[in-house]
Amino acid sequence: MRRKEREIKDAVIIHQILSQSSVCRLAIYDEHFPYIVPMNYGYADGKLYFHCALEGRKLDLIRKNNKVGFEIEYDSEVVKGDVSCQWTTRYRSVIGTGEVEIISDDEGKKFGFDVIMKQHGKENNEYIPAVLNKALVLKVNIMSYTAKQAGDW
């Protein structure tokens, strides 16, 4: 990291970013250009969980190469200044890499969906079997990450 003074090393703050944010941008390998998808997610035990349809570009690419990058930002805002050069952004973020595991069994999917729902404020979930059968869960086993912040915290 170039700006070492912005690096976050406090595990409590990193956990807050991962467990309280709502959108993760997942970068997937697609030969000539990366494919980036913003997705709602859930975080638990060092893993990211995503809802996924049974087919589509994202899933096709992950089946070819399960190594991904990700970016999560927390509570970002543009801070305006009197002149253009004084504008800045206040944020906290985590950027990392991981390997995707596709979860297709009902118990694994329910667990992943529960993690996602908890991240967004709902517990004690029920799932309709017909709907559950039309979805998969992507579990990203985080391999590495860095965390960074700018602005007053």
146, 94 Cβ separation under 8 angstroms: yes
Average pLDDT of span 42-71: 97
Whether 153 has a pLDDT exceeding 80, the answer reads no
State the pLDDT at residue 103.
98
Whether 5 has a pLDDT exceeding 80, the answer reads no
pLDDT more than 90, % of the chain = 82
Residue 83 CB partners (closer than 8 Å, separation 6+) = none
Q: Give tens-digit pLDDT for 62-73.
A: 999 999 999 999
State the pLDDT at residue 50.
98
Task: Specify the DSSP element, H or E, that contains 149.
Answer: strand 135-150
Find the Cα–Cα–Cα–Cα dihedral 5, 10, 14, 16, rounded to 10°: -120
d(CA 37, CA 85): 31
Q: What is the 3-state secondary structure (H, E, C) of 5-49?
A: HHECCCHHHHHHHHHHCCEEEEEECCCCCCEEEEEECEEECCEEE
Q: Which fold has domain 4-148?
A: Pnp Oxidase; Chain A (2.30.110)
- SS3 call for 95: strand
Q: Give tens-digit pLDDT for 95-129.
A: 999 999 999 999 999 999 999 999 999 999 999 99
Residue 86 gets which letter from DSSP? Answer: G
Please report, for the chain, the start and end positions of each structural domain, with discontinuous segments joined by +.
Answer: 4-148
pLDDT band at 2 (very low <50, low <70, confident <90, very high): confident
